[in-house]
Structure 1
Amino acid sequence: MGDHSLIFQKCLAKCLKSNCSTENSSDEGKTPAVVEPFYLQLFWSCKDECGYNCMWETVSTFEQRGWGVPQFYGRWPFIRVLGLQEPASVVFSLLNLVANLAMLNKFQLKVPKFVPGYHLWTIHSWVCINAWFWSSVFHSRDNVLTEKMDYFCAFSMVLYSFYCMAMRVLHCQVNWMSISFSIICGCLMVFHVTYLSLLPRFDYSYNMTANVAIGVLNGLGWLIFCLIKWRKHRYVWRCALSVVLALASMSLEILDFPPLLWTFDAHALWHLSTTILPFLWCRFIIDDCLHLLEKKEKDKKLKML
């Protein structure tokens, strides 16, 4: 760990002493002796700035000694751009946000409001948009608040996607089963946020396990749904392809390597790989909602006979 190295610690102590004033008792409250650009003044304290500069000094020293690129506080070193801590992840998160927003607009233009599933998928889009917004905020500047919001909103996206799968299996109808499942999912979300918020240290292992478990169940549920519906409804191939691509893209999260050009790491590339998924998924849910509408109208005609 680069932040535990003597090189980094000595550099940090020297920088704090030389470049930060002693107006406040804590390092976080100190102000830099040199006036920084406004975007650094807003998000980067004097201690943060010293840590950033010493990080690169440590990386340079490690490479000169052939020790490889170290991580700092569990993260790879990234070049900062306009105050953004991980610029590539910020840009790719925003691309996902825009893709979901565009597909929401397309969905609402193609599908009438009275169609079964309309409100379900509209809410799904906003949950995704919110999650990608907080992802971009977190990668812009990592702190306790932005980290928790990123993780909580990401879990809400995974859980709500699982919820949508179950609701689709129930034909998007309101009955005791759908109401019961809604309550269970709501309680699970409350438990997840409460548990992680009350712990003295964030439980990254539990958070990852919860996301992977629900994500895998969601993927398997949709694949089984597609397998059952395939012969009568060929449009479900888009659903199956979306799920397979989503699961395949997760393999990038397993990879761990220093950022290419100090900008593109595996996590950023994972965010990039998911930008195409909203386009496939939107086409599937449009076709599926129109199918449900057609089925609903046929059922009405049969009842009238």
Structure 2
Amino acid sequence: MSLNYRKIIPHICIILIFILSETEASIGDDSPFYRNCVSVCVTANCSNGVNTYDWKASLPWSLFAWPCLEECRYNCMWVTVDSFLRRGWDIPQFHGRWPFVRIFGLQEPASVLFSILNFSSHMVMLQLFRKEVPKSAPMYWVWHFHSFVCMHAWFWSSIFHSWETPFTEKMDYFCAYSMVLCSLYVMGLRFFSAKFNFKTLLLTITCAVLFVHHVTYLSLVKFDYSYNMQANIIVGALNALGWLLWCAWPQSNVSSKSRKFCIISVLLAIASTALEVLDFPPVLWAVDAHALWHLSTAFLPLLWYRFLIMDCNSLCVAHLEEQKKLF
């Protein structure tokens, strides 16, 4: 499978430029109508324990005990949306987000479902990987580590989209970066065939320092959304370009079939990020572009792990041949 990298790389750069551009601020929570509604609701229902208990008892059943203020914001959000629509205005955003309907108290139900689907894809394909790849294969435990990092990230993604708090938001952002950075790390290890030497030690230390710096900066200095997005995009772009260059590099122990799975997986991952450029009100008040992005990535492990299985088995055969030559 031949690739024209001069044509592919400019398209990748265009996608990254669009994603890096800032989005408009929300107007829903800035509207006097919304603010007055929240103020009245808090005064009437959150001023004392009896009123709060009676009011919450009248609300639909929820998996989470949302604070009284958040319940007021949620209910006033829909009153404001209805007011905007009756006047023929565009659907507004609130606190930087589109209005989502809660299902059983889940804040963004579609994103929760698709995050769980991503988690499940990694879990199922890891079981297939363990079944078809011998433990003696190079990169066997490295890819286990990568899978666990990915599943951990998707677990926190599902928690964050279920119930957004400062803690769940940080865990989602930190774990998402850990997944992207881990992908870059294991790519570097694959370049060196997972052999422990000075290069792999330096790579390990570098990635560890990058992760600690990222978490420390966002936790202690400034929780900067633009910085977080740019850091993820830069690391992700390096990861994608690295794998494409690796596939283009002549290697005797890498089959053309496994290269195809790797290339297709990487290109689909790049294409899926284009969904982050889209910005539209959620369909049925549940499915927006971000949710669709999560849905698109849920199927990538089905291809990616096929590449891992073939690549690890090829490495295993090459390793056995090297052992035979020694004896």
Shared fold (TM-score, shorter chain, > 0.5): yes
Residues 160 and 5 (structure 1), Cα distance of their counterparts in 2 relative to 1, 3 Å cut: same
Shift of 1:31: 3.3
Q: 2:276: which partner in 1? A: 253
Residues 38 and 261 (structure 1), Cα distance of their counterparts in 2 relative to 1, 3 Å cut: closer
Q: 1:14: which partner in 2? A: 40
What secondary structure sits across from 1:4 in the alignment? coil
Picking from 315, 320, 324, the partner of 1:292 is: 315
Work out the CA distance in 2 between the residues paired with 1:140 and 1:262: 15
- Kept after mapping to 2: 8 A contact 1:21/1:32: no
Q: 2:225: which partner in 1? A: 204
What secondary structure sits across from 2:29 in the alignment? helix
- Kept after mapping to 2: 8 A contact 1:16/1:47: yes
Q: Which amino acid aligns with 1:206?
A: Y
Shift of 1:301: 1.4
1:90 counterpart = 2:112: yes
Which deviates more from structure 2 when the two are superposed, residues 8-17 or residues 135-144?
A: 8-17
What secondary structure sits across from 2:185 in the alignment? helix
Q: 1:144: which partner in 2? A: 166
Q: Normalised by the size of structure 1, how large is the TM-score?
A: 0.94
Q: Which amino acid aligns with 2:44?
A: S
Work out the CA distance in 1 between the residues paired with 2:35 and 2:232: 35
- Kept after mapping to 1: 8 A contact 2:217/2:223: no
Picking from 102, 126, 129, the partner of 2:148 is: 126
Q: Which amino acid aligns with 2:104?
A: L
1:268 counterpart = 2:268: no
Shift of 1:43: 3.1
Residues 95 and 203 (structure 1), Cα distance of their counterparts in 2 relative to 1, 3 Å cut: same
Work out the CA distance in 2 between the residues paired with 1:14 and 1:182: 55
Residues 87 and 254 (structure 1), Cα distance of their counterparts in 2 relative to 1, 3 Å cut: same
Task: Name the Cα RMSD after superposition.
Answer: 1.7
Q: Which amino acid aligns with 1:190?
A: V
1:172 counterpart = 2:198: no
Work out the CA distance in 1 between the residues paired with 2:63 and 2:261: 47
Shift of 1:16: 1.1
Q: Normalised by the size of structure 2, how large is the TM-score?
A: 0.88
Work out the CA distance in 2 between the residues paired with 1:159 and 1:290: 25
- Kept after mapping to 1: 8 A contact 2:63/2:106: no
Residues 41 and 90 (structure 1), Cα distance of their counterparts in 2 relative to 1, 3 Å cut: closer
- The count of corresponding residues between Structure 1 and Structure 2 is 298
Shift of 1:40: 3.5
Picking from 190, 215, 223, the partner of 2:236 is: 215
Q: 1:27: which partner in 2? A: none
Residues 132 and 229 (structure 1), Cα distance of their counterparts in 2 relative to 1, 3 Å cut: farther
Work out the CA distance in 2 between the residues paired with 1:303 and 1:230: 21
- Greater RCO, CA 8 A, separation 6+: 2
Picking from 77, 90, 93, the partner of 2:99 is: 77
Shift of 1:63: 1.1
- Kept after mapping to 2: 8 A contact 1:104/1:122: yes
Picking from 93, 114, 124, the partner of 1:102 is: 124
Q: Which amino acid aligns with 1:60?
A: D
Q: 2:245: which partner in 1? A: 224
1:64 counterpart = 2:116: no
- Kept after mapping to 1: 8 A contact 2:153/2:175: yes
Work out the CA distance in 2 between the residues paired with 1:140 and 1:42: 9
Q: 1:303: which partner in 2? A: 326
Which digits, 9 at most, give the CA deviation of each residue in 1:140-193, with x for residues without a partner? 011100000000000000000000111101111111100111011011111110
Q: 2:19: which partner in 1? A: none
Work out the CA distance in 1 between the residues paired with 2:58 and 2:88: 33
Q: 2:66: which partner in 1? A: 44
Work out the CA distance in 2 between the residues paired with 1:2 and 1:88: 22
Q: 2:23: which partner in 1? A: none
What secondary structure sits across from 1:33 in the alignment? helix
Shift of 1:37: 6.4
Structure 2 residues not aligned, in runs of 5+: 1-26
| 4+ runs deviating over 6 angstroms | none
Q: 2:31: which partner in 1? A: 5
